[in-house]
Structure 1
Amino acid sequence: MTIQFPSPRPTVAAPSGAPRPRLTFLGTGYLGATYAICFAELGYEVIGFDVDQAKIERLGKGEVPFHEPGLDELLRKNLAGGRLRFTTSMEEVAEFGDVHFICVGTPQRADGMAADLSYVESAVTGLAQHLHRKALIVGKSTVPVGTAEWVEQLVRRHAPGESGVEVAWSPEFLQEGFAVEDVLRPNRVIFGVKSEWAVGLLYEAHKALFDLATTEDREVPVVVTDFATAELVKVAANAFLATKISFINAMAEICEAAGADVTMLARSIGYDQRIGNKFLRAGIGFGGGCLPKDIRAFQARAQELGVGEALRFLHEVDLINQRRRQRIVQLSAELLDRPFGPNGPDLSGTRIAVLGATFKPNSDDVRDSPALSVARKLTRSGADVYIYDPEGMDNASREVSEATYSKSIVDAVTGADLVCVLTEWEEFRNADPAVLGEIVAGKKVIDGRNCLDATVWRRAGWEFRAMGRPAQ
């Protein structure tokens, strides 16, 4: 059922006896740290837990270990206000909390496409053995369907028999670069539960969020459902978004062959309300720590359930996504007039500026970044690659050490034979092509994100190529 909170609900007392539930977030990576900080901002008493001592020390000193706009200020504010602290002690977490959110990573397994649930298992078993009063363990990590039932079994096996610990699932929907807004003003909240007590305690744990919505005259739809449906919501949403992105990139391939313009095509079909215009920008595809590994884990789980055929299309979605990265290398060879050998183009002796390393703007995340993947391919083709990114340089340098990292756009493009714009940072979108044209060796540019004004760049004398658009 879907509930528009606030609506009358029976009050559920916090098992700790506190006026409102005390919240803990296990795992202080991007997901857990963001939620912990934002829920402290909502007025809850919060503890963030991690086994990484260095990370906990940084957070405790008011330093967010990743880039997310607005989060640093909220962290320092709530540390100073006494509502938020961080620890490596599971005993402290168990004694403190009423609602424990599992926010650890579920990366792709090294031996296949399935999700690695070892971090979930470690967090749940480590917590459960210290729980001596009733509490609610709530999964937020993106997991294969069936995980919540398995977590419930882990709790029964490891929690003291008299504790009465229950399990629920409430997936997250954070967009990097917009995560603070996504936590404080969500477009929906999912409660996967088995009891009215769990619904009531989850309501109390989100009440400040619903109260904020009321003051802003907004509604927050809350879907109360079963474990399996709650688990499927996140992976189904990610599969749909990945499919939409790969669809427009497949259309870009057709447009390139037919001489059509994919940006005009996307605009035209986006006016259809059944389709919409979001996630219809053709480019070098999706990346990051969620979509790629989630669609692979979804396929793997479908195979385990005996319905692998239902998600066979996601394999093609993945292939389309990977092809767009190689397309940049092909365009680079064409623009630089370099022939293809048996192992691809020989770009030795060329200098290529790569603008962008993160998988999206307003983030320092380079996990499965299309931009960094292209940079790696260019270096392996023999090019001297100079990378600049406003936030992702440190992370990128650990992934692609063979490239040179520049301090600015100017440093990166000076003397370049080719410029590749691979992450749509505002700094790159607003760059002046006339100014850059004075310092490059060759006025050739590839717009890998369809984020530049082709007319302006061409008027400035640049040979301009973009994904799915005519050469002229």
Structure 2
Amino acid sequence: MKITVIGCGYLGATHAACMAELGYDVLGVEVDERKRELLAAGKVPIYEPGLEDLLAKHVASGKLRFTDSMEEAAAFADLHFVCVGTPQLPDSMGADVSYVEAAVASLAPHLTRPSYVVGKSTVPVGTAARMSALLAELSSVGEKAELVWNPEFLREGFAVKDTLEPDRIVLGVASERSEKVLRDFYAPILATGTPLVVTDYATAELVKVSANAFLATKISFINAVSEVCEASGADVVDLADAIGHDARIGRRFLNAGIGFGGGCLPKDIRAFVHRAGELGVEDAMTFLRQVDDINQRQRQRVAQIATAMLGGSVSRSRIGVWGAAFKPDSDDVRDSPALNIAGRLHLRGATVTVYDPKANETARDRFPTLEYADSAVDAVRDADLVLHLTEWPEFRSVDIAEVGAVVRRKQILDGRNLLDLPAWREAGWTARGLGRR
């Protein structure tokens, strides 16, 4: 079977490389010339463990190549995956689906035989029905050009594994014919026991945003509780361990810290609330506004604690920041809590030096006024305060004595609650966490 992947950013490049790994011939469609040339050379413009090796392997094997031609794509295959972005609109909380519309509108006129267009982008509920109608209207084969909605569930840092070994596959279909085609396509993955959920368009669209909203709620819940712990002298890590043993709750993602960020979770919950409002049921999703507010407040809270640790003012202080990416195993700094906190402190007059194992360059592009170092130790040289803001393993294994020898004041704030604070204190440091005893 031959397939195309339309839009070869993070999602598309991963899907294309992984489907080539499964044995399919893949044609990636990418309109950005620089990105397309990079991909054709076996390179990816992002850091994602294992992705570049996989992509280079299949570019070299001939299983994967790239074009900017929708006409070529339509001639190449009958199964087309739409993997374009849906960023937040600049003037509202809603999602911008113009890239999805443009992809469907550009491909449809070139479809001259029965074809299947599979949406993988995260979109507001109702989008798939509109795209199905648009596809039938613009295609010369009418309703024989069918739409399927197949949401992605990738975690940055684990995208290759999540594509090849997903925890579920969801198909929103409008006919038994399209269901059969996608079942056949995903047969190698389904054969391993991966659960399959077949449903309608609207449900498939809601699965991804609902999952993200639930996850965001869990994270903001424990962050809100961490404030109560701090005020009462309780310890949020012990508390999370205790309630995490409850099978109804679970321990995963129940870690208090500086909150979530990235290109998906924040925009998806905002778009969910926005779409609920358009459907006349905004009151049902009002709690998600509070989830978002708690998440944003964590950033201000860390800045306030850092200021207190520096005597009430950060002006003329030197602060070393460990971490820039919104999570480890990624160079993604979109809506990064770490960089947001670093930027806040810089604007208040501090000299802020950042180090991230993979995200220094992407961070420099977004926050060029901050200083950047090439190592964890260099980032904290002459620092009055160290902030641990992205949970890279490297930061948990630093030599405390080596770090202590280069700072000006032995103070550290663990924004991820993962450092061994007693060990730091034994070495003479003032060490704080969030909601820690």
Q: TM-score, normalised by structure 1?
A: 0.91
- 2:99 aligned residue: 119
1:207 Cα deviation (Å)? Answer: 1.8
Q: 2:307 aligns with which of 322, 328, 333?
A: 333
- 1:347 aligned residue: 314
TM alignment of 1:230-309, pairs within 5 A: 230-309=204-283
Question: Does 2:169 correspond to 1:189?
Answer: yes
- 2:339 aligned residue: 372
Question: Does 2:354 correspond to 1:387?
Answer: yes
Deviations 1:79-118 (A, max 9, x none): 1111111111111111112211111110110110000011
SS in 2 for 1:77: helix
Amino acid at match of 2:31: V
Question: Does 2:95 correspond to 1:144?
Answer: no
Distance 2:28 2:433 in 1: 44
- 2:429 aligned residue: 462
Question: Does 2:138 correspond to 1:130?
Answer: no
Q: Is the 8 A contact 1:131 1:163 kept in 2?
A: no
Q: 1:445 aligns with which of 389, 404, 412?
A: 412
SS in 1 for 2:186: helix
Question: Does 2:273 correspond to 1:312?
Answer: no
Q: Is the 8 A contact 1:43 1:208 kept in 2?
A: no
Q: Is the 8 A contact 1:99 1:205 kept in 2?
A: no
- 1:50 aligned residue: 30
1:434 Cα deviation (Å)? Answer: 1.7
Question: Does 2:90 correspond to 1:110?
Answer: yes
SS in 2 for 1:220: coil
- 1:167 aligned residue: 147
SS in 2 for 1:312: helix
Distance 1:86 1:462 in 2: 54
Distance 1:48 1:401 in 2: 33
Count residues with an aligned counterpart: 437
1:157 Cα deviation (Å)? Answer: 2.4
Question: Does 2:380 correspond to 1:406?
Answer: no
Q: 1:72 aligns with which of 52, 56, 62?
A: 52
- 1:17 aligned residue: none
| Identity %, equivalent residues | 56
Distance 2:176 2:114 in 1: 14
Deviations 1:243-272 (A, max 9, x none): 000000000011111111000010000000
Distance 1:186 1:205 in 2: 14
Deviations 1:202-256 (A, max 9, x none): 0122122234x2xxxxx11100101110000000000000000000000001111
Question: Does 2:398 correspond to 1:431?
Answer: yes
Q: Is the 8 A contact 1:23 1:205 kept in 2?
A: no
SS in 1 for 2:403: helix
- 2:203 aligned residue: 229
SS in 1 for 2:202: helix
Q: Is the 8 A contact 1:355 1:422 kept in 2?
A: yes
- 1:342 aligned residue: none
Amino acid at match of 1:441: R
SS in 2 for 1:48: strand
TM alignment of 1:410-425, pairs within 5 A: 410-425=377-392
Distance 1:46 1:40 in 2: 6
Distance 2:162 2:235 in 1: 33
* Residues 410 and 111 (structure 1), Cα distance of their counterparts in 2 relative to 1, 3 Å cut: same
Q: TM-score, normalised by structure 2?
A: 0.99
Amino acid at match of 2:43: E
Q: Which moved more, 1:202-211 or 1:111-120?
A: 202-211
- 1:363 aligned residue: 330
Distance 2:331 2:139 in 1: 38
SS in 1 for 2:114: coil
Question: Does 2:43 correspond to 1:101?
Answer: no
Q: Is the 8 A contact 1:133 1:162 kept in 2?
A: no
Q: 1:220 aligns with which of 169, 194, 205?
A: 194
Distance 2:62 2:183 in 1: 23
Distance 1:376 1:159 in 2: 49
Distance 2:268 2:186 in 1: 26
Q: Is the 8 A contact 1:28 1:50 kept in 2?
A: yes
1:161 Cα deviation (Å)? Answer: 3.9
Distance 2:54 2:102 in 1: 29
Structure 2 unaligned blocks of 5 or more:
none
- 1:176 aligned residue: 156
Q: What is the CA RMSD across the aligned residues, in angstroms?
A: 1.0
1:163 Cα deviation (Å)? Answer: 7.2
- 1:35 aligned residue: 15
Q: Is the 8 A contact 1:106 1:117 kept in 2?
A: yes
- 1:15 aligned residue: none
SS in 2 for 1:168: strand
Q: Is the 8 A contact 2:273 2:288 kept in 1?
A: yes
Distance 1:205 1:87 in 2: 23
SS in 1 for 2:171: strand
Deviations 1:252-296 (A, max 9, x none): 011111111000010000000000001100000000011000000
SS in 1 for 2:144: coil
Deviations 1:328-359 (A, max 9, x none): 11111111112xxxxxxx42210000110000
Q: Which moved more, 1:274-283 or 1:69-78?
A: 69-78
